[in-house]
């Protein structure tokens, strides 16, 4: 089937039936000053071979540096079979599965995705994915306000240990909903939520967000935080790294009742870093909240002959019901990414994912040990981490990042731009996954020491 199914003759026939002379006439209500004369920066059409060459050249501009940056997007090993299968035509070009009779394969994959996410998070039910982790958190905030009618509050407690980017996205999503995000400070010694300041809260709130691990890579006291929030009549939103859940307690088991909603970014599960996207958010919740869950859910059923089958259910989106009644007006199903995530989890299995997570922890500790003996490098937080940690430098962090880039190393993320007022000046967030070898880490440490020495003139504090 051609990509553009309508020929010029067919278009002319349809316009004739409608009673207009051209497609432009269909949009004559648009004022001339608002119409585009063309896309000046878009080149003229090219052949498939030319397009492939162009995109290959563009992709090569990124290079293949040693990556020690994380902050929400992570470099993990992806078995070759994952994308060999995910890019088969049945998955790669499949349309959204509204017609169950023609989409059983796609529906089953999404159903398996939901099952795996629910199992990983320890929750009752999962939806069929969202745009990314940040928008998933935004949806969870909206959902908690809708669902927590007892609280009668639109106030959300958002820790400063949640990524600043995530917080900005959430603020953008909820700012016109009358929802307030109150930022709770973190303990300077441990890099975790300051529980004492949290307990000083006197006003009612709808939900508490708990990141695990948090943006600094540190481990929050999730059990204490979850129980405290529930005692206040609030809901709990767990923001989690899915790889870390192979080793850490599932959010469905936090405290005595577990969280109410669990969200996160599934990019670590089989999605490569690719010039900023695409990503895939996941969202799971308790059964009692299922009708408040935004997006789509695939259910398993039987047909008239008693054979198992799959179909969309509880489709409370604006595409299916009145916009004012929708649980969300922005969420979507990242079908191809969900397919890759499902394949990754199926290939790795429980043991494989645990080995990946354990390797991340071991490599992180190995690099920490190398950097601890480096003059001038300080570790501001004395707590356990997963595969990210913060260091402070004796010189300008941006200059260090630029100098490391010249050695083909992505050194990490400058978090001073977000936390300088909190005492984290010249702070670098470093990530280590299972992809880093001992030689990689030694090269990183040696290069960082040399760069700092050059920038400080050898006089390191």
Distance CA 396, CA 375 (A): 15
Q: What mean pLDDT is predicted for residues 5-24?
A: 90
DSSP 95: P
Q: How far is CA 397 from CA 43, 284, 380, in A?
A: 39, 38, 15
Flag whether pLDDT at 383 surpasses 60. Answer: yes
Region(s) of the chain under CATH 3.40.640.10 = 81-344
Q: What mean pLDDT is predicted for residues 321-335?
A: 71
What integer pLDDT is reported at residue 460 of this predicted model?
A: 45
Predicted confidence band of residue 322 (pLDDT cuts 50, 70, 90): low
Q: Give percent above pLDDT 90 in the chain.
A: 71
Distance CA 351, CA 349 (A): 6
Distance CA 327, CA 337 (A): 23
Contact assessment for residue 396 and residue 404, using Cβ atoms and an 8 Å cutoff: no
Query: What's this model's pTM, rounded to 2 decimal places?
Result: 0.88
Region(s) of the chain under CATH 3.90.1150.10 = 350-455
Question: What residue spans of 77-150 are helical by DSSP H?
Answer: 80-86, 89-92, 104-121, 133-147
What integer pLDDT is reported at residue 321 of this predicted model?
A: 62
Residues 6+ apart with CB under 8 A from 232: 201, 204, 205
Residue 212, both tokens: 């695990």
Residue 379, both tokens: 């570790």
Residues 6+ apart with CB under 8 A from 430: 68, 69, 70, 367, 388, 389, 390, 391, 411, 412
Residues 6+ apart with CB under 8 A from 283: 126, 127, 129, 130, 136, 139, 140, 261, 262, 263, 293, 294, 295
Helices 335-372 and 104-121 sit at what angle, rounded to 10 degrees? 30
Instruction: Give the CATH class of 81-344.
Output: alpha beta
Q: Give percent above pLDDT 70 in the chain.
A: 95
Fold for the domain defined by 350-455: 3.90.1150
């Amino acid at each position: 089937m051609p990509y553009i199914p309508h020929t010029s003759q067919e278009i002319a026939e349809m316009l004739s039936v409608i009673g207009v002379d051209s497609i432009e006439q269909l949009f004559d209500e648009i004022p001339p000053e608002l119409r585009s004369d063309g896309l000046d920066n878009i080149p003229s059409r090219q052949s498939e071979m030319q397009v492939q060459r162009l995109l290959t050249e563009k992709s090569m501009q990124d290079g293949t540096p040693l990556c020690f940056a994380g902050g929400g997007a992570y470099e993990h090993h992806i078995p070759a079979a994952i994308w060999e299968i995910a890019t088969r035509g049945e998955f790669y070009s499949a349309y959204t599965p509204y017609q169950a009779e023609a989409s059983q394969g796609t529906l089953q994959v999404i159903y398996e995705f939901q099952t795996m996410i629910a199992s990983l998070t320890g929750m009752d039910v999962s939806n069929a994915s969202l745009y990314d982790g940040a928008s998933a958190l935004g949806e969870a905030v909206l959902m908690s306000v809708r669902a927590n009618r007892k609280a009668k509050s639109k106030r959300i407690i958002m820790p400063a240990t949640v990524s600043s980017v995530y917080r900005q996205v959430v603020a953008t999503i909820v700012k016109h909903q009358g929802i307030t995000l109150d930022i709770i400070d973190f303990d300077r010694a441990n890099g975790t939520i300051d529980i004492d300041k949290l307990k000083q809260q006197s006003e009612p709130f709808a939900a508490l967000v708990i990141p695990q691990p948090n943006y600094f890579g540190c481990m929050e006291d999730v059990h204490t935080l979850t129980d405290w929030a529930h005692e206040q009549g609030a809901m709990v939103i767990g923001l989690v790294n899915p790889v870390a859940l192979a080793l850490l307690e599932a959010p469905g088991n936090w405290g005595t009742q577990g969280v109410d909603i669990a969200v996160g970014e599934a990019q670590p599960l089989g999605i490569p870093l690719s010039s900023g996207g695409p990503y895939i958010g996941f969202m799971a919740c308790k059964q009692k909240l299922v009708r408040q869950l935004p997006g789509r859910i695939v259910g398993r059923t039987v047909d008239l002959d008693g054979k198992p089958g799959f179909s969309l259910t509880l489709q409370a989106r604006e595409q299916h019901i009145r916009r004012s009644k929708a649980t969300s007006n922005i969420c979507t199903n990242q079908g191809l990414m969900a397919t890759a995530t499902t394949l990754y989890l199926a290939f790795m299995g429980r043991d494989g994912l645990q080995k990946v997570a354990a390797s991340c922890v071991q490599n992180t500790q190995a690099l920490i040990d190398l950097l601890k003996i480096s003059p001038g490098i300080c570790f501001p937080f004395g707590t356990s981490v997963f595969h990210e940690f913060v260091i402070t430098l004796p010189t300008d962090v941006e200059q260090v990042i630029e100098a490391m880039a010249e050695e083909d190393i992505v050194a990490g993320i400058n978090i001073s731009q977000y936390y300088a007022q909190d005492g984290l000046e010249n702070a670098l967030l470093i990530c280590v996954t299972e992809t880093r070898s001992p030689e990689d880490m030694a090269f990183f440490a040696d290069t960082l020491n040399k760069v700092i020495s050059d920038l400080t003139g050898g006089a390191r504090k």
